[in-house]
Structure 1
Amino acid sequence: MTKTLHAKSLKVGVCYYPEHWSSDMWDSDLEMMRHMGITMVRVGEFAWSIFEPKDGEFSFQLFDEFIERAGQFGIGVILGTPTATPPAWLTYKYPEVLNVSLDGIQFQHGLRRHYNYNSPVYQQYCRRIVEKMAKHYGENTHVIGWQIDNELNCEIDVFYSERDHEAFRQWLTVKYGTLDRLNHAWGTVVWSQTYTAWEQVHLTRPNPSHSVNPHQALDEKRFISNSVMRFVENQTEVIRQYAPHQFITTNGIFGHLDTHELTERYLDFISYDSYPNFGMLADDESLRDREWSFNLSVARSVSPNFCVMEQQAGPGGWVNRIEQPTPLPGQLRLWAFQSLAHGADAIVFFRWRTAPFGTEIYWHGIFDYDNQPNRRVAEIGQTINEVSLLADKLAGSLVQADVALLRDYNNDWDGEVDTWHGPYTKKSVKEWFRGLQTSHVPCDVLNLSETTQLADLRRYKVLVYPHPVVLSERVTELLEQFVSAGGILITGCRAGLKDVNGHCRQVSMPGPLKNLFGVQVSDFTRIQGAYEVPNLVWNGDESSSGCIHAVDFNEVLQPTSEDCTVLATYDRNYYSGTPALVQNSFGKGTTYYYGSVFTRELAKKLIELTGLVDTENKLVSTTEEVELEIRRNPLTGDRYVFLLNYSGQPQAVHLHHGCRNALNGELIEGDLVLDGYDVLVCEVPDGGATARG
């Protein structure tokens, strides 16, 4: 069962730190929040030294007073467990709770996230502080929910303390049972790595080549993910016991953590921290802030309706890194609606006021240091007013998409080490997303696991699985069932190469996918050195060469099925004229296999071939600079079409059918102009025109 945020109305909140401000400021801040329409605040996630100033001495006075005042203003409180920042007395008394680098250097107290998950001492102290808080606030009617820790695996997502090495061995004994099975899974016969006693087994340690055993590295990521989940379970267990009526979430999606399993097992829904301004730092031809739509789609793959626990409210920067420009007028509103368009039913702006001290003095909030009205305050106030117009209609509505980009943790983690596929996946996913975005085709991200069901796949017309190198037999069968029932599946080079241990299969690529795609790989190369980047020649038409490039890696394909059709060939290198892209019929469906790394140009070509662009019944025509997303209310059938202009220049929009502007109630149709960084939400009643761009 998918865990999701069940909200009857959209909610807007703000992150607030009562411990940073004089209590004389609280009432005026809360009054202003109420005036702006803010109905919840997140507090406490870094306040362990306030709740427990000395070992075993607990104090709730400060937060009791603030939470009571917030309740008087009708503002609910999300309470963070403060375990991301252990207090100095704890790390001084028990230095074994601190994390250690790969080189064996222990991190010291200061800043945050310097602990390790597997320290029994730290687990004990975390459980104690959370239990004390849950007992104290579990029946408090002003506390609506809990955030576990803060941004798990942010800052650092590898752990090498002595306790981590010990816990890794314990985890491996459960997973494999015997050293023989471990040695086989890790291929330790290579370079005489074979283990004869469990004490010999460790996490990765320094070595002359600065390299790793890839199979060991894959298990390390799985182990770290498991460690995080046990750490979260240690906290949620006591919160469930003492605060059964308050929700539990955590914020952020970071590396080496199976967020899907974490949410399914321990949370009520996932929360994401959205800072699109990071995208503005890119100096390449990327989607920039629009790329955060992909990140929000990943959050939606965990919880169809989710919370954005930190929504950008100003420029971001620490004293020593993360320099960002100040958002231009309109961008903060644009980014908030970006979150809503992708399934967020709650948005919490970070933060209320910019801190005048500490590492985050340049991570700006709604208000600046002077606490005076400014254009960001006015813009966010406008945004909250507009969200209130959608609050009851949009809550619980689901994003509509006919295509999904498939991903899985095994390939993500294996690809961190294996540069023969990891970088290709990142590039292909990015290029596919760019192609879909600029074609105005909404898409989902769908995570594949051993618990994925056929019904999860059949929600889509087209699935794109760019480079599924690590592939299990069960997932292979699932993909076959999807295509056989009439689905369309697209994949690229290196597919099916490895099993779940990361061993290369001793069969022709694409291994278990051979029958599904009707093709095998007869040769391959990276595009380096003497190799030129080929162009694709479509259906033997030489005049088509030069439009689409086959970049980075090329496979020479050999059709093995009578139903396999060659769509395009390479135009250079020794394999000039050989197949590069093939189409195969399988059951009632169709597959496309591409022997290279995807580009936006090829993605757009395949978008046309698969019929994802509905040119006859579309509601909207607009430019590539405008994103189109759709949310549909499952009860009424009404759809809400979001048009988001990421350009600073006005963009033309043509509505082929009349609809209502959900932000002001006006009926609109025909030619419109969307101003720079502007937003339009079209309300389309059930039975209205097809909401496609």
Structure 2
Amino acid sequence: MPKTTPTWLRHHPDAKASGTERRISFGADYNPEQWPREVWDEDIRLMQRANVDVVSIAIFSWARLQPAQDQWDFEWLDDVMDMLAEAGIGADLATATASPPAWLSTQHPEILPVTEDGTILSPGGRQHWRPTSPVFREHALTLVRTLAERYKNHPALVAWHVNNELGCHNLYDYSDDAAVAFRIWLRERYGTVEELNRAWSTDFWSQRYQAFEQILPPRRAASFPNPTQQLDFHRFSSDALKQHFIAERDVLRSITPDVPVTTNFMVVGETKGMNFADWADELDFVANDHYRLPIEHSRDELSFSAAVTSSLARGNPWFLMEHSTSAVNWQPINRPKRPGELERDSLAHVAHGADAVCYFQWRQSAGGAEKYHSAMVPHAGEDSRVYRNVVGLGQTLRQLDDVAGSHRKPAQVAVLMDWESWWASELDSHPSAELRYRPEVFAWWLALLDAGVRADVVQAHQDFSHYDVVLAPVLHMVPAELKERLESYVHSGGHLITTYFSGTVDQDDRVWLGGYPGALRELLGIRVEEFAPLLSDETVALDDGSTGRLWSEPIEILNDVHVLRKYASGDLAGQPAVTRRKAGAGTAAYVSTQLDAVGRVSLLADLLDGTDVVPEIPEPLRGRAEFVRRIGENGEFLFVINRSDDPLDLSAVAGRAMIGLDNSRRLAARGVAVLRVDTHSRGIPPTERT
């Protein structure tokens, strides 16, 4: 058992407690079964040198643990667990159900997933199993139960790691098992086939059903499948994987009630299939995998994803289960990280609430599909730049142990995120196939950052009433309950900013009639008769000199509405492009096009004027630095993240430096400084936050 209990474990009410010292945990996925026994002793030595205190093990070990249905081999794992315990390193023990062994898929090919066009996916990769297969479920839970019984009292065990990256490769299964489970799910959601027919608008194209048994998953069809059927299949597929997690979790809780259970989310880029906002409360602590993407603003995308993860964790510390020390193996061109980026990327996650920093993986594989994926110990061994940086980061994290257990300090502005709007807005047969939900949400979060404004991400079902400003881009799906909460928020003094293609449909993907933006029409005081999407190479000018692309709308003013921007070119020249209406004690603003970066920042300056929101980043640092604040029992901590490739002068930033600053208070290119801020506040308990 580790000498201390990590703070990410203490938030589980029944978690083991072996100490009181706070700690930012450090570690990796550990796959000793890939290596000869003599390498393991070196692994432990190098882990201790790097201050590693937790590793995730046995993630893809089912074939080693159970070579045949009636045969088990735990000797090697017993040795690894004992070695970890002796070294004071905790084991986040995986249930090993991520990829079934060859004997199982050979004996039971009916566990294999089926694509929308009927192709059966073969073994040979990973995650070759159906989430709704009763045969797979039975064998998986037998493995889980066997592992839990064997290691329930082992001193190395600190957490359970269910499966791995659920839904990464088997999210959408169109098999007969899925069809049966989908019908059960639909019956529970709608109760009667008549209600389903109403919700799905099945009188269109003669799709009306007389019985649930007639319904199939949205397999490849002659034309567009029913959009609400597609939406419900998104919901069902996310629920099916969530229910698999719950099934494994409940077995573990029945045997080891004092050991917390998690699984690793994938909050990164446009990974949208699993509704993590719906899953998060089922975990004892939130864990996430994040990898830098080869996109513009990739460093900022990391921070945005970390902010999303913090929202899922409801302010509690969370676990960064995987990221990379350097290059990955799955991008078209896999470039190594630049000097300083290993530490910068890790500390950016810590800034947003991570109390554990872990990598894939500990030792870089000599063979297999991920042999060119970087690790804490690379092919070059310990005499390498990467391992030296790993050791340095382990030392840095020890200097930040006072931060452990704190949470992100609430901001004045919230960016609203909604998984179901994400799904629904990107369905087919829409005004524009080029609309992408997450990049638009990220772009507004980035505009706030460039304007010097710190922002939280809040899920649509969470309470946003205490924020001064709520920014809700492409809030396409607005059920009646959310409509009422948004109206109450504004009338009570809040300031809402939303954009094109918002408020358009209800929870059944049925249009709010009477004109767009539908559910938000009266609150915004505007009406749009039809959308006017733009062609790929088409733009429109606005009267402030900014540019819009992707979308435009002819806005009709219904009542006392202030026009902030007008179109200056195209068919809509002279007509409103951005509006704002006073409603009760608050305001509601609407942006009818996809603004460029300069246009967003400029507009935000106008929209934030008259609110209580004050930029926190000094003007000389705006666009170059990110400020993130954590607050807890040990006070307040300001993380300053250098977004640029040049040093920054932080002499005007108050606080006592813990890491990152030299005597002249210069922050290195791609660096992170952490400052202890003098404050009498002891923080806000996470249970009182959304």
SS in 2 for 1:292: helix
The 8 Å contact of residues 99 and 116 in structure 1, kept in 2 or not, is answered as: yes
Mind listing any 5+ residue stretches in structure 2 that lack a counterpart? 1-6, 12-21, 682-690
Question: Aligned equivalents of 1:570 and 1:217: distance in 2?
Answer: 36
Match of 2:389 in 1: 379
Matches within 5 A, 1:292-691: 292-303=302-313, 304=315, 305-318=317-330, 322-418=332-428, 419-420=430-431, 423-449=435-461, 452=462, 456-528=463-535, 533-537=539-543, 544=544, 547-562=545-560, 564-611=561-608, 618=616, 620-624=618-622, 626-636=624-634, 638-648=635-645, 650-663=646-659, 672-686=665-679
Cα distance change on mapping 1:664 and 1:195 into 2, 3 Å? closer
Cα distance change on mapping 1:588 and 1:615 into 2, 3 Å? closer
SS in 2 for 1:491: strand
Question: Aligned equivalents of 1:66 and 1:478: distance in 2?
Answer: 52
Counterpart among 233, 250, 257 of residue 237 in structure 1: 250
Per the TM alignment, residue 602 of structure 1 is displaced from its structure 2 partner at its CA by 2.8
Question: Aligned equivalents of 2:661 and 2:340: distance in 1?
Answer: 21
The 8 Å contact of residues 363 and 376 in structure 2, kept in 1 or not, is answered as: yes
Q: Is it true that 1:71 corresponds to 2:85 in the alignment?
A: yes
AA partner of residue 261 (structure 1):
D
The 8 Å contact of residues 532 and 572 in structure 1, kept in 2 or not, is answered as: no
Per the TM alignment, residue 188 of structure 1 is displaced from its structure 2 partner at its CA by 1.5
Provide, for residues 510-564 of structure 1, a one-character-per-residue CA deviation record: whole Å limited to 9, x for no partner.
Answer: 22212221222244311239x9632222xxxxxx3xx2113221112222233x2
SS in 1 for 2:132: coil
Per the TM alignment, residue 645 of structure 1 is displaced from its structure 2 partner at its CA by 2.2
Question: Aligned equivalents of 2:383 and 2:424: distance in 1?
Answer: 49
SS in 1 for 2:426: helix
Per the TM alignment, residue 635 of structure 1 is displaced from its structure 2 partner at its CA by 3.0
Q: Is it true that 1:247 corresponds to 2:253 in the alignment?
A: no
Question: Aligned equivalents of 1:328 and 1:395: distance in 2?
Answer: 30
Question: Aligned equivalents of 2:582 and 2:68: distance in 1?
Answer: 69
Per the TM alignment, residue 664 of structure 1 is displaced from its structure 2 partner at its CA by 7.0
The 8 Å contact of residues 497 and 590 in structure 2, kept in 1 or not, is answered as: yes
AA partner of residue 297 (structure 2):
L
Q: Mean alpha-carbon deviation: is it higher for 297-306 or for 123-132?
A: 297-306
The 8 Å contact of residues 648 and 666 in structure 2, kept in 1 or not, is answered as: yes
SS in 1 for 2:416: strand
SS in 2 for 1:166: helix
The 8 Å contact of residues 150 and 250 in structure 1, kept in 2 or not, is answered as: yes
SS in 2 for 1:25: helix
Cα distance change on mapping 1:461 and 1:181 into 2, 3 Å? same
Cα distance change on mapping 1:152 and 1:615 into 2, 3 Å? closer
Mind listing any 5+ residue stretches in structure 1 that lack a counterpart? 538-543, 689-693
Cα distance change on mapping 1:44 and 1:579 into 2, 3 Å? same
The 8 Å contact of residues 27 and 362 in structure 2, kept in 1 or not, is answered as: no
Per the TM alignment, residue 259 of structure 1 is displaced from its structure 2 partner at its CA by 1.4
Provide, for residues 262-305 of structure 1, a one-character-per-residue CA deviation record: whole Å limited to 9, x for no partner.
Answer: 221x31122111212xx2x23xxx20232111111121111132
The 8 Å contact of residues 628 and 640 in structure 2, kept in 1 or not, is answered as: no
Per the TM alignment, residue 102 of structure 1 is displaced from its structure 2 partner at its CA by 1.0
TM-score by length of 1: 0.90
TM-score by length of 2: 0.90
The 8 Å contact of residues 622 and 652 in structure 1, kept in 2 or not, is answered as: no
SS in 2 for 1:656: coil
Question: Aligned equivalents of 1:396 and 1:672: distance in 2?
Answer: 25
Provide, for residues 62-115 of structure 1, a one-character-per-residue CA deviation record: whole Å limited to 9, x for no partner.
Answer: 111111111111111100111111000000001111101111111111120111
Per the TM alignment, residue 505 of structure 1 is displaced from its structure 2 partner at its CA by 2.1
The 8 Å contact of residues 351 and 366 in structure 1, kept in 2 or not, is answered as: yes
Matches within 5 A, 1:149-188: 149-188=163-202
AA partner of residue 431 (structure 2):
W
Cα distance change on mapping 1:186 and 1:653 into 2, 3 Å? same
Counterpart among 241, 246, 253 of residue 228 in structure 1: 241
Per the TM alignment, residue 615 of structure 1 is displaced from its structure 2 partner at its CA by 10
Counterpart among 288, 300, 303 of residue 290 in structure 1: 300
Question: Aligned equivalents of 2:264 and 2:98: distance in 1?
Answer: 12
SS in 2 for 1:633: strand
Per the TM alignment, residue 463 of structure 1 is displaced from its structure 2 partner at its CA by 0.9
SS in 2 for 1:561: coil
Per the TM alignment, residue 622 of structure 1 is displaced from its structure 2 partner at its CA by 4.2
Q: Is it true that 1:271 corresponds to 2:312 in the alignment?
A: no
Per the TM alignment, residue 369 of structure 1 is displaced from its structure 2 partner at its CA by 2.3
The 8 Å contact of residues 55 and 91 in structure 2, kept in 1 or not, is answered as: yes
Question: Aligned equivalents of 2:393 and 2:426: distance in 1?
Answer: 39
Counterpart among 75, 97, 113 of residue 99 in structure 1: 113
Question: Aligned equivalents of 2:28 and 2:438: distance in 1?
Answer: 33
Cα distance change on mapping 1:576 and 1:153 into 2, 3 Å? same
Cα distance change on mapping 1:655 and 1:70 into 2, 3 Å? same
The 8 Å contact of residues 619 and 655 in structure 1, kept in 2 or not, is answered as: no
Cα distance change on mapping 1:570 and 1:25 into 2, 3 Å? same
Provide, for residues 318-354 of structure 1, a one-character-per-residue CA deviation record: whole Å limited to 9, x for no partner.
Answer: 5xx5531011111101111111111111111221111
CA RMSD of aligned residues (A): 2.4
Cα distance change on mapping 1:168 and 1:532 into 2, 3 Å? closer
Cα distance change on mapping 1:184 and 1:202 into 2, 3 Å? same
Match of 1:540 in 2: none
Per the TM alignment, residue 27 of structure 1 is displaced from its structure 2 partner at its CA by 1.8
The 8 Å contact of residues 341 and 399 in structure 1, kept in 2 or not, is answered as: no
Q: Mean alpha-carbon deviation: is it higher for 602-611 or for 89-98?
A: 602-611
The 8 Å contact of residues 441 and 628 in structure 1, kept in 2 or not, is answered as: no
Question: Aligned equivalents of 2:671 and 2:623: distance in 1?
Answer: 11
Cα distance change on mapping 1:248 and 1:614 into 2, 3 Å? same
Question: Aligned equivalents of 1:623 and 1:602: distance in 2?
Answer: 19
Per the TM alignment, residue 368 of structure 1 is displaced from its structure 2 partner at its CA by 2.0
SS in 2 for 1:345: strand
SS in 1 for 2:198: helix
Cα distance change on mapping 1:616 and 1:165 into 2, 3 Å? closer
Match of 1:691 in 2: none
Counterpart among 140, 143, 157 of residue 126 in structure 1: 140
Question: Aligned equivalents of 2:324 and 2:638: distance in 1?
Answer: 23
Per the TM alignment, residue 229 of structure 1 is displaced from its structure 2 partner at its CA by 1.5
Provide, for residues 162-185 of structure 1, a one-character-per-residue CA deviation record: whole Å limited to 9, x for no partner.
Answer: 100111111112222222222221
Cα distance change on mapping 1:615 and 1:221 into 2, 3 Å? closer
The 8 Å contact of residues 221 and 413 in structure 1, kept in 2 or not, is answered as: yes
AA partner of residue 558 (structure 1):
E
Identity among equivalent positions (%) equals 27
Q: Mean alpha-carbon deviation: is it higher for 622-631 or for 226-235?
A: 622-631
Q: Is it true that 1:259 corresponds to 2:276 in the alignment?
A: yes
The 8 Å contact of residues 562 and 580 in structure 2, kept in 1 or not, is answered as: yes
Q: Is it true that 1:219 corresponds to 2:232 in the alignment?
A: yes
Match of 1:208 in 2: 222
Question: Aligned equivalents of 1:77 and 1:652: distance in 2?
Answer: 40
